[in-house]
Amino acid sequence: MKKSLLTAALFGAVSMSAHAQSSVTLYGLIDAGLVYTNNQFGHSNWQEVSSSTQNTVFGLKGSEDLGGGLHAIFKLEQGFLLNNGAQAFSGDGFGSQAWVGLQSDPYGTLTFGRQFDVMNDLVGPLTAESNTWGGNMAAHPFENDNLAANSVVINNSVKYASPTYHGVTFETMYSFSNKAGNFANNRSYGFGLSYAQGPVNLAAGYLQLNGAGNGGGAVTSGDTSANFLAQRQRIWSLGGNYTYGPATVGLVWSHTQIDNASGVFSFGTGTYLGSDDASAGTLAGSLRLDNYEVNAKYALTPALSVSGAYTYTHGAYNGSSPGWNTGMLQTDYAISKRTDFYLEGVYQNVHGAPADSVLSHAMINTLSPSSSNTQVAVTVGMRHAF
């Protein structure tokens, strides 16, 4: 009898241990370098900066095996600026990501919290701006389509990601305003679909933001999570790339509709550029933007690569037709699996925008706006992942 009880107890302990297997990982990425810009508010500038290409972050992520192919998962991630230690999202303890959820091998993943949107998850990786070989500085004007490396993070969100079936993955999300009597103000929702099989990658998505920046809803302006302050922002995107040996070539299109806009944020200054900012002009009314990107990367050796991207952005704003030309070239050399050095140049020119509008000023992402319609920036930097 005693042997039977002991055997049962040991079997129970082993079973509990098997079902309680868990792991917690500390991780991060540091991106720092020097940037020369020919024009910021009318002056040339040398800067020591952080996150020119990839966001500088540290975080914790974990998983617990609940048995039967089910896992409890979480991620807590903070973005920061290496040069001064400041928070990337002002006032947020874990501004980059903060979520918890369940992952099922056969049924998919359901997560709750502050997360990246589904279009950023699936279409973003097909762009130069979301990758190490282009990154934040290569973003489309004003990061209008949220395809760069996770600059907009959405609060109060519930997201579902399907398992991958024959190369196809589906994601959808809904983000609450959390406002009594004002359910639709500052909420967000979207969906995305991707296909990856062999050398071919395709993806498409839709994202809508209602009243971004108002109060403590889905997207807030207090921590500069919002790109635009507007009544409504709708984004459609479609992209694909093809890999052949050491070469990858991609095409991306996105369409952004911004209704009743009142301003846009500059990621270089972290400040709102609206009617009270005489150096950048005003932004009011409806804005339509179509971004057409072609990008390419070529690995010369396993350690050395070159890449480039060109984006033409066509706009419609209060009877005008502004246009942007944005070009990027980068070379990167990895000295190990976790450490690399890069040299990147970005050029942007805007034409056709009203002279009294913020749109008439070139503004490479992460940098303060130019006083003219042209801006050129060159950065040399180092990245280290841990």
In a domain, 6, yes or no: no
Phi–psi pair at 19, nearest 5 degrees: -85, -10
Q: What is the mean pLDDT of residues 114-135?
A: 94
- Here the tokens at position 380 are 């040399």
DSSP string, 360-380: GS---TTSPPPSSSEEEEEEE
Residue 165 domain flag: yes
Q: Is it the case that residue 161 has pLDDT exceeding 90?
A: yes
pLDDT above 70 for 150: no
Least confident of 123-132, 180-189, 302-311, 337-346: 180-189
pLDDT digits (tens, 9 = 90+) for 283-327: 888 999 999 999 999 999 999 999 999 999 999 999 999 999 999
pLDDT tens-digit series, residues 214-270: 667 898 877 777 888 889 999 999 999 999 999 999 999 999 999 998 888 766 566
Burial class (CB in 10 A: 0-12, 13-18, 19+), 223: middle
**What's CA 200's distance to the chain center, in Å?**
22
Q: Is residue 12 part of a domain?
A: no
Nearest to 252 by CA among 137, 119, 54, 55: 119
DSSP structure class, residue 152 = -
Considering the domain boundaries, does residue 11 fall inside one?
no
Q: Nearest to residue 382, comparing CAs of 336, 350, 316, 349?
A: 336
What confidence score (pLDDT) does residue 268 get? 58
In a domain, 2, yes or no: no
The predicted structure's pLDDT at residue 166: 95
14 falls within a domain: no
Please report the DSSP string for 87-134 in residue order: BSSTT-TT-SEEEEEEEETTTEEEEEEEE--HHHHHTGGGSSTTSTTT
Question: For the range 96-99, what are the long-range contacts, defined as Cβ-Cβ under 8 Å and sequence gap of 24 or more?
Answer: 96/55, 96/57, 96/59, 96/150, 96/153, 97/59, 97/153, 99/74, 99/75, 99/157, 99/159
In the chain, the percentage of residues whose pLDDT exceeds 90 is 74
If you search the block for the tokens 């992952």, which residue do you land on? 103
C-alpha to C-alpha distance for 266 and 272, rounded to whole angstroms:
7
Determine the straight-line distance between the first and last CA of the chain, rounded to whole angstroms. 53
Given pLDDT bands bounded at 50, 70 and 90, which one contains residue 335? Answer: very high
C-alpha–C-alpha distance, residues 280 and 106, integer Å: 51
CA–CA gap between residue 224 and residue 153 (Å, rounded): 10
What CATH number is attached to the domain comprising 143? Answer: 2.40.160.10
Within-domain flag for 97: yes
Cβ atoms < 10 Å from Cβ of 23:
9
- Position with higher pLDDT, 141 vs 274: 141
Q: What are residue 173's phi and psi, to 5 degrees?
A: -150, 155
- Residue 190: the pLDDT is 97
Residue ranges making up the domain that contains 300: 25-385
Q: Alpha-carbon dihedral of residues 323, 120, 61, 163, nearest 10 degrees?
A: -160
3-class secondary-structure state, position 223? coil
Q: How many residues in total does the chain contain? A: 386
Residue 115: exposure state from Cβ atoms within 10 A (0-12, 13-18, ≥19):
buried
Q: Decide: 213 and 242 in contact? Cβ < 8 Å.
A: no
230 close to 210: Cβ distance less than 8 angstroms: no
Q: Structurally, how many domains does the chain consist of? A: 1
Token reading at 135: 């990154």
Tokens of 262: 């009142």
Q: What CA–CA distance (Å, rounded) separates 207 from 209?
A: 7
Write out pLDDT tens, residues 31-46. 999 999 999 999 999 9
Q: How many CB atoms lie within 10 A of CB 309?
A: 24
**Which two structure tokens, joined as six digits, stand for 238?**
């479609």
- C-alpha–C-alpha distance, residues 66 and 18, integer Å: 9
Residue 320 lies in a domain: yes
Q: DSSP 3-state assignment of 137? A: helix
